[in-house]
């Protein structure tokens, strides 16, 4: 599959449409992003939004978040999603490797991500790329 990864720096209708198609494949509860929400996301200083583009369409996305903390610059990979029609073709690996490269060049001490246990293929990919499961608990406070 001929796919290239690029950094998105401004919102577009193509991007709104792509996220509208991709986000429900990540989470059934994903809220659709309108142009303004997408613009805020791609122009936010801490975010680097990557897309994987085939000649026909955007087939995947990943958001890298860089955070300067007292313990050093940290990076998180968030919301990795590849279109179901493009899965198994190395798209997620391309996106993740590019995120790791950007984080390394920025000086991030670590790169973290979370993945649900039922996403077996994604978890195998992350382990193949060198991620290690941590003994940790993730806590979430619902703000609704």
CA–CA distance, 144 with 45 (Å, rounded to integer) = 26
Does any domain span residue 133? no
Is residue 24 in some structural domain? yes
What is the number of structural domains in the chain?
A: 1
Question: 43 with 9: CB under 8 angstroms?
Answer: yes
Residue range of the domain that includes 78: 4-128
Give the CATH number of the domain where residue 67 resides: 3.40.630.30
Domain for residue 88, yes or no?
yes
The answer as to whether 94 is a domain residue is: yes
Q: Is 66 contained in some domain? A: yes
Q: 113 pairs with which residues across the strands? A: 77
Band of pLDDT at residue 16, cut at 50, 70 and 90: very high
pLDDT-derived band at 31 (thresholds 50, 70, 90) equals confident
Cβ–Cβ under 8 Å, residues 52 and 58:
yes
Confidence of residue 135 (pLDDT cuts 50, 70, 90): confident
Quick check: is 141 in a domain?
Answer: no
User: What's the pLDDT at 131?
Assistant: 96
In a domain, 29, yes or no: yes
Chain center to CA of 48 = 9
**Residue at 143 is within a domain:** no
76-120: per-residue pLDDT in tens?
999 999 999 999 999 999 999 999 999 999 999 999 999 988 888
Q: How confident is the model at residue 143 (pLDDT cuts 50, 70, 90)?
A: confident
Model's pTM, two decimal places? Answer: 0.92
75: nearest Cα among 96, 60, 56: 96
For 40-68, write each residue's pLDDT tens digit.
999 999 999 999 999 999 999 999 999 99
Strands across the sheet containing 58-69? 4-8, 47-53, 58-69, 72-82, 110-113
């Amino acid at each position: 599959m001929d796919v290239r990864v690029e950094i998105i720096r401004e919102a577009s209708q193509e991007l709104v449409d792509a996220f509208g198609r991709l986000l429900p494949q990540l989470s059934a509860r994903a809220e659709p992003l309108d142009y303004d929400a997408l613009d805020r996301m791609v122009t936010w200083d801490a975010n680097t939004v990557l897309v994987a583009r085939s000649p026909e369409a955007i087939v995947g996305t990943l958001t890298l978040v860089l955070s300067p903390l007292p313990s050093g610059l940290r990076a998180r990979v968030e919301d990795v999603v590849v279109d179901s029609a493009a899965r198994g073709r190395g798209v997620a690996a391309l996106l993740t490797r590019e995120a790791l490269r950007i984080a390394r060049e920025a000086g991030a001490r670590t790169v973290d991500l979370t993945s649900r246990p039922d996403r077996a293929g994604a978890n195998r990919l992350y382990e193949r790329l060198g991620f290690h499961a941590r003994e940790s608990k993730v806590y979430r406070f619902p703000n609704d």
